[in-house]
Amino acid sequence: MTDEPRKQTPGVYRRKVGDAMVTVINDGFLDIPMAILRGTERGDMEALMREHFHEGGPRLTVNAFVIETDRNTMLVDAGGGSTTVYSMGQLPHNLSAAGFKLSDFDTVLLTHIHPDHSSGLMDEAGKPLFPRADIIVHKDDFDFWSDTERRGRSAAAVPYTGSADALLSSHRGRFRPVDGGEVMPGITQLPLPGHTPGHSGYQLDSAGETLVMWGDTVHVPELQIPLPQITSEFDVDEALAAENRRKIFNHVASERLLVTGGHLHLPGFAHLVKADDGFRLVPEAWRVQL
């Protein structure tokens, strides 16, 4: 065995959805303390984590997604970049490993303006990384983070005001706030407020196939899939976040839709089935062929 330092292979996984190509791009990970989660007893959450062979606090996978169609090359979320913690910031390297240039992207679809989903749009100097991409985000999120007085009244939002200001100022004039519905050909924005006022998912429909990308509906799949009532102290409206979690869970389970999310573990695609009062995630096996 060589003594040279070794690295994991680039976090990249491709899957066809109809005529579109979706590429998962891993940006790294984020550790969170169990103490920020609520909605059930701490001991119950710890027991669930042990059932999944996880000791200590949850480790969140952080992913972004590339959607390629015959018209557009789009990025859904952008990871945490260099402005958050050391464990993120892999997006540019992994995009390059997947064969993408930053100039390839015409559109960025943000699920919400939190740093682990949007700060990767900037380099270490706070300058835009994607030179020609417009940014689509729900208007309620854009309005909330642009309003210093309103966001200042939310304890869940205060820790993220600096990163929001950096993003909004560096990309002034490049945002396209929308209010749900079709935002790009074949792409529908699904408003799922609660985590933030304009938190949203996106649905890709192509050649009879559908993929739902549910954003931060799930932070910790080991906990929030079986117990959808589990929320976080960083949800601006915890009750609404839990309500919309059940709403999208019921939708994808009843329709048997393929799902993915920024914090689902690689390769990141799965289905959801109902189980008792909660749900069960059925991860899709790694596909060798596209």
Residue 188's pLDDT is what? 98
Q: List, for the chain, all residue ranges whose pLDDT scores fall below the cut of 50.
A: none
Listed by start position, the domains of the chain span 12-283
**Phi, psi torsion values for 65, nearest 5 degrees:** -140, 140
User: pLDDT at position 87, please?
Assistant: 86
Structure-block tokens of residue 104: 């390839």
Per-residue confidence (pLDDT) for residue 83, from 0 to 100: 59
- 114 class by beta-carbon count within 10 Å (0-12 exposed, 13-18 middle, 19+ buried): buried
pLDDT of residue 4: 67
Rg (CA), the chain: 18
Q: Residue 84's pLDDT is what?
A: 58
* Alpha carbon separation from 161 to 36, 113, 224, 234, 272 (Å, rounded): 19, 10, 26, 12, 34
Write the CA distances from 278 to 164, 273, 274, integer angstroms: 34, 9, 6
Instruction: Please check whether residue 138 is in contact with residue 178, taking contact to mean a CB–CB distance below 8 angstroms.
Output: yes
| pLDDT recorded at residue 7 | 81
Could you confirm whether domain 12-283 is CATH 3.40.1280.10? no
pLDDT, residue 57, reads 86
